[in-house]
């Protein structure tokens, strides 16, 4: 099925959903849309993403690419950690960072720690013999006073005996929102990095995407990276060059659907892992597939 035919066939569904479901809570809307997004992936999108990633790797044999921003059932996503890891491996990604939300009185840290335990279990007990295991980084998305900030830790913190250290360091996130500056500093003792999520994107009820003027004044030299391209939020900018940060491409996927449409890449000849490349500001944001950009615009009316 081609892109035009597919979008035409589902436009009615999207418009009807937008009109009928605006009053529903986000969790209910996500559950409503989940079966539909699975159909989209299986019948339309997955093959296109896989082909795009394979082409990238043929042209750049030393390029490692992966997802740096997505969510599972442990926060506000609709799919299990295992299914997310399996699909990411199937479409050809080399690494993934699942970034559960941490927000006072809404998304407790314990849910994120449970997600990290599950990531650790899936890596130890990889149950997909037809797929090469994918590299997994422990990380999460923190609600700060100025907006959302992603913290990504060294893979050593997938070890279960290390979770207590994460709980001790980050338990205050359950009680209050701290400044983005203070939050960014907290990743470094764990060999971690910080990434500004969806900059300049607004939500009326709570801090969401930090403004670029604020980032320029207070976060340069402190935060390691910023999202230049986001499928889920439909922007493609060059914030990283302006701010002197590493360039990140991501999906902000909640449905295990658009992972892989926008990725972060780095040269494996120069860096042993993603964190090394981010610290050196030698990553690149790459758009792999734009087939669903029109549909995502309609979906934002629903969600």
On the question of pLDDT at 127 being above 90, the answer is: yes
As a whole number of angstroms, the distance between CA 287 and CA 112 comes to 28
pLDDT over threshold 70, residue 27 = no
Query: pTM, whole model, 2 decimals?
Result: 0.89
Instruction: Please give the structure tokens belonging to residue 65.
Output: 């690419």
Residue 7 lies in a domain: no
- Domains: count for the chain: 1
**Averaged over 278-289, what is the pLDDT?**
98
Q: List, for residues 211-229, the tens digit of each pLDDT value.
A: 999 999 999 999 999 999 9
Can you give the residue range of the structural domain that contains 176?
62-291
**pLDDT at position 8, please?**
46
Reported as a pLDDT band with limits 50, 70 and 90, residue 230 is very high
In a domain, 15, yes or no: no
Asked whether the beta carbons of 288 and 66 are under 8 A apart, the reply is no
Give the pLDDT confidence score for residue 256 in this predicted structure.
94
Summarised one tens digit per residue, pLDDT across range 243-276 is: 999 999 999 999 999 999 999 999 999 999 999 9
Q: What is the pLDDT of residue 44?
A: 74
Per-residue pLDDT averaged across 143-158, rounded?
Answer: 97
Q: Say what the pLDDT of residue 239 is.
A: 98
- The answer to whether residue 205 is domain-embedded is yes
Query: What is the structure's pLDDT at 70?
Result: 98
Are 173 and 142 spatial neighbours (Cβ–Cβ below 8 Å)?
yes
pLDDT > 70? residue 26: no
SS (H, E, C) the chain: CCHHHHHHHHHHHHHHHHHHHCCCCHHHHHHHHHHHHHHHHHHHHHHHHHHHHHHHHHHCCCEEEEECCECCCCCCCCCCHHHHHHHHHHHCCCEEEEEEEEECCCECHHHHHHHHHHHHHHHHCCCCCCCCCCEEEEEEEEECCCCEEEEECCHHHHCHHHHHHHHHHHHHHHCCCCCHHHHHHCCHHHCCEEEECCCCCCCCCCCCCCCHHHHHHHHCCCCCEEEEEECCCCEECCHHHHHCCEEEEECCECCCCCCCCEEEEEECCCCCCHHHHHHCCCEEEEECCCCCHHHHHHHHHHC
In a domain, residue 297? The reply is no
Dump pLDDT digits (tens) for 66-118. Answer: 999 999 999 999 999 999 999 999 999 999 999 999 999 999 999 999 999 99
Domain-embedded: residue 178:
yes
Q: Kindly report, residue by residue over 166-184, the tens digit of the pLDDT.
A: 999 999 999 999 999 999 9
Q: For tokens 């005996």, what's the residue?
A: 161
% of the chain exceeding 90 in pLDDT: 80
Residues forming a β-bridge with 63:
267
The whole-number pLDDT of residue 34 equals 59
- Cα within 13 Å of Cα(173), Cβ side: 31
Q: Look up tokens 């093959």; give the residue.
A: 47
Tokens linked to 29: 């809307």
Q: Is residue 19 part of a domain?
A: no
Look at residue 61 in the predicted model and tell me its pLDDT. Answer: 96
Say what percent of the chain tops pLDDT 70: 83
Q: Does residue 302 form part of some domain?
A: no
Residue 37 in any domain: the answer is no
What is the reported pLDDT for 164? 94
What CATH number is given to the structural domain containing 75? 3.20.20.140
- Whole-angstrom CA distances from 112 to 140, 186, 232 are 7, 16, 21
């Amino acid at each position: 099925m081609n892109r035009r035919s597919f979008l035409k066939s589902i436009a009615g569904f999207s418009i009807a959903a937008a009109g009928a479901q605006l009053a529903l809570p986000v969790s209910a809307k996500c559950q409503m849309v989940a079966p539909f997004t699975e159909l989209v992936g299986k019948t339309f999108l997955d093959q296109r993403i896989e082909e795009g990633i394979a082409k990238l790797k043929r042209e750049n044999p030393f390029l490692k690419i992966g997802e740096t921003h997505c969510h599972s059932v442990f926060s506000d996503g609709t799919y299990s950690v295992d299914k997310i890891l399996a699909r990411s491996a199937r479409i050809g990604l080399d690494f993934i960072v699942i970034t559960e939300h941490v927000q006072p009185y809404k998304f407790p840290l314990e849910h994120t720690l449970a997600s990290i335990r599950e990531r650790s279990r899936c890596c130890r007990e990889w149950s997909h013999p037809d797929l090469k295991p994918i590299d997994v980084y422990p990380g999460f998305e923190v609600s700060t006073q100025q907006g959302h900030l992603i913290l990504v830790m060294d893979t050593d913190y997938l070890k279960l005996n290390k979770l207590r250290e994460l709980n001790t360091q980050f338990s205050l996130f359950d009680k209050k929102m701290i400044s983005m500056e203070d939050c960014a500093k907290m990743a470094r003792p764990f060999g971690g990095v910080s990434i500004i999520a969806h900059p300049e994107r607004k939500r009326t009820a709570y801090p969401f995407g930090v403004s670029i003027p604020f980032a320029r004044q207070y976060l340069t030299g402190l935060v390691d990276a910023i999202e230049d391209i986001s499928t889920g939020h439909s922007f493609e900018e060059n914030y990283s060059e302006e701010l002197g940060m590493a360039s990140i491409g991501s999906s902000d996927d909640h449905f295990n659907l658009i992972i892989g449409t926008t990725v972060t890449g780095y040269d494996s000849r120069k860096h042993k892992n993603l964190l090394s490349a981010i610290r050196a500001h030698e990553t690149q944001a790459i758009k792999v597939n734009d087939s669903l950009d029109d549909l995502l615009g309609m979906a934002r009316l629903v969600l």
